[in-house]
Structure 1
């Protein structure tokens, strides 16, 4: 399962008191050794994007810096470049018991909600009492140009596979205040320079607490909808299917039942074109991606080429991983060349389309939060030239990802939890023209403007419906490598 690990904070306790303590060089070196050992023994694809010699140099440089006492936060920040070098958006690095995105400060936080596009930042909300006009462009924060702020934060962010960046921008849109506090600071006040219309202004803003940010976010949530939805145009020639996640809740909809009923209805109504909205879908269960493609494929297909595993033997350090996997890994992990593979996965077998598989035109909407299982599914669709893609490059990698079930270890002195996906997924039958580290690149790139964000104007959906109406979404997507 590839959704964000909610159970990391439940793993072990004791991290709260470490935040204020100073760790000795001996303690730092011991935690560094555990960290490096865990990656070497668990991570299935350490060198998928960064060569071993580069990694070895990074390890040596990082270890050399651990020669003085450090706080938990200083150690956390020092180790982050090693995690970034993995280029693995699933990796988890969380001080025990802390919020993943606000690990060291829950007060003195930046009070504005922002929208980031490359090096430009706009205001889309205010969490504090002082206000900056929505739609205003931020120019400086405490004297530093916002372009420099973004370029300082991006290299410390891990939510991206390969060389993709849109997942990082989406993370900044949601958790800018947390990243700023962790990697730049949590000052007593924020002096902000902004441009609204033709005027530039300066304002001093009081910081806010995490509770204030969460209260603001709660108020901005849209009205609750079912996570799986199917709607039709008035003439029933086209339909829109929204899949918010690739997992279901027993208290809500049944995913398999939704697909079965929906695709039967599409056939009965003789729908000609389908828009599949996978934006902001961060993933879930691998089998749910396979099942969806069975309802869209025009011919039998292979989904995964293989699933790599680092080793079959037990780990040499204390670690948590699912008991069921530990019990049966001797049956499902086998030798393959110089490594090992996981064999118990339906997606490794040749799959047949479902009886009610949709054969019409298909358009797929994706963005930076289309991740993990969502990107795997999109890779299969795109490689088979089954759909036209619209939106922004996915946060997940086209060739596959490192995820599945996780092994989690807590570093003994700093009390930071390191969560590592144990499986390296490799998609089958990919185009030879792919560039290393790319995500799914849309055929039609649509980047929302700040006005779109503030007004709810959905230009990507409008583009998809326009293509369908003009017959341009015929499911013959070219393999883009730009």
Structure 2
């Protein structure tokens, strides 16, 4: 299971045994927790030096450890260690104070009061969590005396939701959780001084901070009407279908994924659909086998999904940790020695797969964005490597070559009471293109970035562009902002 939204639940359960530490930590306590952190990475993470070579990573470890020579609060220790997690370039690693919200780990009041939309180095207000003082749609220029560009460049290097060198997952996180990141890494004042542009004029407002309860209530009020997570619809043209998959896991009481695939692709065959739009935006992943199941309905020929699944070690860990009981019981059967390391062997995606009986062979269009992550990016990588589809939207937050996820090992630092969750399996995709750049995501053939006007009006620019592309039989690469 890879879905990052589920992992905090596991960490919360683990964190129930000890509440977060509010007291100041001594240098001795900090060094003990640092040693646990370093040991856990060494014994669990499948490829800790995939993007940052070991000598460079060791230098970062030495620099971080040297800073732990004075008393620190939990937040100071958390922030000091974040560069090490960022250097892993692994969006699955979790670093959460026990029992706290992943995105608001230290402050549940004194939070930034505006909902924002960020594109590269610019930011717009698209809503308010408190009093409606700043109009929607205005560009924010400065917050508490600091330029928006400086703030964005301060936050991005402290954000971990990205595989490799991708950045769109970080931008999506800013759009959803800017208030939490600002409070953690910059400041949490009682009021926020905001400078913004209205037309050709610059104006200033002082806005009181809000609470996390206000933010959550605002998000709840903005939620669209609930829909089933797996949907197949037919626009005006009967030759086109739109399949939306919001996640790669299911609740049998709600919807069965296999049954959905069977029925959907039967309909596509019976209706003789020529073009299928597969919408995977905001799909952060789920279970690996679901991606394999879906691709069997889209593949043109037999395929291998994964090249290998690596595991750091087979023996028991030298530190207190939680792993699923089922894995502990059967790892002796499914983890095998290979070369200098170990591999996980029981995964359908490692075997040669055949297309399903009702496989769709028409034109395929796949929609992606920065929240297309984990299993979703793995699936998109297989489709892209096989040149099976046209891709539209924005680069994925997940890495093209694979990720480190699956089953997680979770340990709690004994003094700081921070839960560290590390994916135990290194999934590497099979038959990748030779032109692939290290650390890149799936880059669309047609890059389409929603504008602030689209966000405010609820316009789905990416879907509109895709349907227009189908109607005009457009081709080639495009960048639309």
TM-score (structure 1 length as normaliser): 0.97
Match of 1:281 in 2: 283
Question: Which aligned pairs between 1:299-338 and structure 2 lie closer than 5 A?
Answer: 299-338=301-340
Match of 2:154 in 1: 152
| Equivalent residue in structure 1 for 2:14, among 11, 15, 35 | 11
**How far 1:382 sits from its partner (Å)?**
0.2
The answer to whether the 8 Å contact 1:307/1:423 transfers is: yes
- Classify the secondary structure of the residue corresponding to 1:293: helix
Question: Which aligned pairs between 1:243-282 and structure 2 lie closer than 5 A?
Answer: 243-282=245-284
**How far 1:320 sits from its partner (Å)?**
0.1
Once superposed, what is the RMSD of the aligned Cα atoms?
A: 1.2
**How far 1:360 sits from its partner (Å)?**
0.1
The answer to whether the 8 Å contact 2:20/2:99 transfers is: no
**How far 1:466 sits from its partner (Å)?**
1.9
| Equivalent residue in structure 2 for 1:353, among 352, 355, 359 | 355
Match of 2:57 in 1: 55
Q: Which segments of 5 or more consecutive residues in structure 2 lack a partner in the other structure?
A: none
| Equivalent residue in structure 1 for 2:217, among 206, 215, 221 | 215
- Classify the secondary structure of the residue corresponding to 1:22: coil
Match of 1:465 in 2: 467
1:450 paired to 2:452: yes
Q: How many residues align?
A: 475
**How far 1:337 sits from its partner (Å)?**
1.1
Match of 1:133 in 2: 135
The answer to whether the 8 Å contact 2:133/2:205 transfers is: no
- Classify the secondary structure of the residue corresponding to 2:217: helix
The answer to whether the 8 Å contact 1:272/1:360 transfers is: yes
Match of 1:32 in 2: 34
Match of 2:413 in 1: 411
Higher mean displacement: 196-205 or 68-77: 196-205
**How far 1:13 sits from its partner (Å)?**
2.8
Quote the Cα distance in structure 2 between the aligned partners of 1:139 and 1:365.
Answer: 32
Higher mean displacement: 413-422 or 245-254: 245-254
Higher mean displacement: 227-236 or 363-372: 227-236
- Classify the secondary structure of the residue corresponding to 1:11: helix
Match of 2:170 in 1: 168
CA deviation string 1:131-157 (max 9, x = no partner): 211100000000000100001100000
Quote the Cα distance in structure 2 between the aligned partners of 1:16 and 1:122.
Answer: 37
Q: Which segments of 5 or more consecutive residues in structure 1 lack a partner in the other structure?
A: none
Match of 1:185 in 2: 187
**How far 1:440 sits from its partner (Å)?**
0.1
- Classify the secondary structure of the residue corresponding to 2:353: coil
Question: Which aligned pairs between 1:103-142 and structure 2 lie closer than 5 A?
Answer: 103-142=105-144
CA deviation string 1:452-482 (max 9, x = no partner): 1111111211121122223347xxx99x9xx
- Classify the secondary structure of the residue corresponding to 1:23: coil
Quote the Cα distance in structure 1 between the aligned partners of 2:204 and 2:17.
Answer: 43
**How far 1:7 sits from its partner (Å)?**
1.6
**How far 1:274 sits from its partner (Å)?**
0.4
Question: Which aligned pairs between 1:373-412 and structure 2 lie closer than 5 A?
Answer: 373-412=375-414
Quote the Cα distance in structure 2 between the aligned partners of 1:59 and 1:292.
Answer: 41
Quote the Cα distance in structure 1 between the aligned partners of 2:343 and 2:458.
Answer: 45
TM-score (structure 2 length as normaliser): 0.97
The answer to whether the 8 Å contact 1:14/1:415 transfers is: no
Match of 1:93 in 2: 95
Quote the Cα distance in structure 2 between the aligned partners of 1:191 and 1:467.
Answer: 44
Quote the Cα distance in structure 1 between the aligned partners of 2:166 and 2:237.
Answer: 39
Match of 1:74 in 2: 76
Quote the Cα distance in structure 2 between the aligned partners of 1:409 and 1:462.
Answer: 46
The answer to whether the 8 Å contact 2:364/2:389 transfers is: yes
CA deviation string 1:126-181 (max 9, x = no partner): 00124211100000000000100001100000000000000000000000000000
Quote the Cα distance in structure 2 between the aligned partners of 1:466 and 1:387.
Answer: 16
Quote the Cα distance in structure 2 between the aligned partners of 1:381 and 1:235.
Answer: 25
Quote the Cα distance in structure 2 between the aligned partners of 1:12 and 1:236.
Answer: 52
The answer to whether the 8 Å contact 1:308/1:424 transfers is: yes
**How far 1:17 sits from its partner (Å)?**
5.1
The answer to whether the 8 Å contact 1:15/1:414 transfers is: no
Match of 1:2 in 2: 2
**How far 1:200 sits from its partner (Å)?**
1.1
Quote the Cα distance in structure 2 between the aligned partners of 1:196 and 1:265.
Answer: 50
